[in-house]
Amino acid sequence: MLRIYNSLTRRKEEFVPIEPGKVRMYVCGMTVYDLCHVGHARVMVVFDVVARYLRASGFEVTYVRNITDIDDKIIRRAHERGENIQELTARYIEALHEDAEGLQILPPDREPRATESMEAIIAMVQRLLEQGYAYQGENGDIYYDVSHFEGYGALSGKQLDELRAGERVQVSEAKTDPLDFVLWKAAKPNEPAWDSPWGPGRPGWHIECSAMSTQALGPHFDIHGGGQDLQFPHHENEIAQSEAATGCKFVNYWMHNGFVRVDDEKMSKSLGNFFTVREVLEHYHPEVLRYFILSSHYRSPLNYTEQQLETAQAAVTRLYTALRGMPGEGISISAQGSAQELAEGDDPFVQRFCEAMDDDFNTPEALALLNEIRHALNRAREEGDKDKVQYLARLLPSLGAILGLLTQEPEQFLRDPRQAAAPSIVSAEGEAALSDGDIEQLIAQRTAARKNKDWAAADHLRDVLKKQGITLEDTPTGTLWRRG
């Protein structure tokens, strides 16, 4: 029985989909004015795993992740660079897709863009005006009247008076209440604009997500996700405007992942303390970054350090090392398979994996189970239990795939150049890193030296490889190697 922590009710609740066997999920995506950083990676990885596990549990999932391609930040960045807005957003959308693919994120089923959803946005604003939830200010902007929505503040757990105490109405604004928020901004010089019944302009940020989510999934859907920083005011405002416009409940389960922190501060572009996804992936394999992200529960803060990444790298390396030379076929459990069917069997590893994931997607516990299977696999191999070895060698990557891990051939991962520690990529003499072919040639020379009982030469060749960050493992069938 899957239980999800619902940010709206502040407790874990049994997950019951609106339509049996089907899940509709919307996650707030990127505002495309810069490259994705590790904070964005956490959102993508967390909800990629949620979608993978729901599918593995037998649900038919419709996963929607939007792109915000018109926004104040985008306009400001384009003006700063003297660049066309469409060219700026197109470049960063392409970069977003490259980063997602690099992180082994499965693509969402739908990826609506704000600029392609203008008809739905304008229609929703029009309904809010007609139903008395919105008004036009003297400056031509359309505002949402928060005082007309009885449930405002439920998601953040705050009262209206408490929220107003921290707000101020700027002189330039024409809204009547400090908490009222803009739905439609009247056109300004040198800004993109779309025609509307109230004159040319562009949408506010909050209305974009309400329109895109309801257009893609209907007025009432199962799960809405995003970063903790979006809980207020963005998601609070989404609830207010969506439920006022449609007259029905907006979302059943709200999920928010915690911040990524650097030196106890939230990782963000405004603070300038962020690491882009592509910077990290230059030095670490995607599965290392995924393991690092999943090693903390999605609702907990995640502290970014090189040491934590190196710990994750060592953990993933141990998993792949255990699979080296093992059969890699799945055992009917995958992103498209059914974990629930296996959980109803008698395999304790699968049952415990499902129990962990059913407990609000407890990925740290799920990772611990993968490492238990690794230990069991190594023991079975030492004991010569071939049947158990074969089963566990298929089970480990099958469960790992639900987390987006262990998806490659072990040799491919273990020989990835990023597996070598950064200082070891260049030798002490300043020579370039060895290619795979160079490594194989040196190993062949070492094998010949050992065959001739020239132990000094064999040891020298091992030392040469070690300085290059190459680890050797002598086995009855030959010498295996990996970077790092």
Binding site for Zn(2+): which residues? 28, 209, 234, 238
DSSP summary character for residue 42: H
Rounded distance between C-alpha atoms, residue 222 and residue 58, angstroms: 16
What's the Rg (C-alpha) of the chain?
26
Beta bridge partners of 475: 478
Rounded distance between C-alpha atoms, residue 362 and residue 355, angstroms: 9
Non-local (6+) Cβ contacts of 105 within 8 A are 44, 45, 48, 404
Cα atoms found within 13 Å of the Cα of residue 295, Cβ hemisphere only: 20
Look at the block and give the residue holding tokens 């070492």: 446
Per the structure block, which two tokens stand in for 146? 């928060």
First to last CA, the chain: 41
Phi, psi values for residue 81, rounded to 5°: -95, 0
Three-class SS string for 414-443? Answer: HCCHHHCCHHHCCCCCCCCCCCHHHHHHHH
Rounded distance between C-alpha atoms, residue 85 and residue 57, angstroms: 42
* Binding site, annotated residues: 28, 209, 234, 238, 269
Cα atoms found within 13 Å of the Cα of residue 133, Cβ hemisphere only: 22
Helix axis angle, 455-467 to 436-451, nearest 10°: 160
Please name which of 417, 394, 383, 305 lies closest in space to residue 347, comparing C-alpha atoms.
394
Per the structure block, which two tokens stand in for 44? 């993508």
8 Å CB contact between 268 and 259:
no
**Number of Cβ atoms within 10 Å of the Cβ of 34:** 17
* Binding site, annotated residues for ATP: 269
Coil, strand or helix: which one is 223? strand
Coil, strand or helix: which one is 265? strand
Rounded distance between C-alpha atoms, residue 340 and residue 401, angstroms: 15
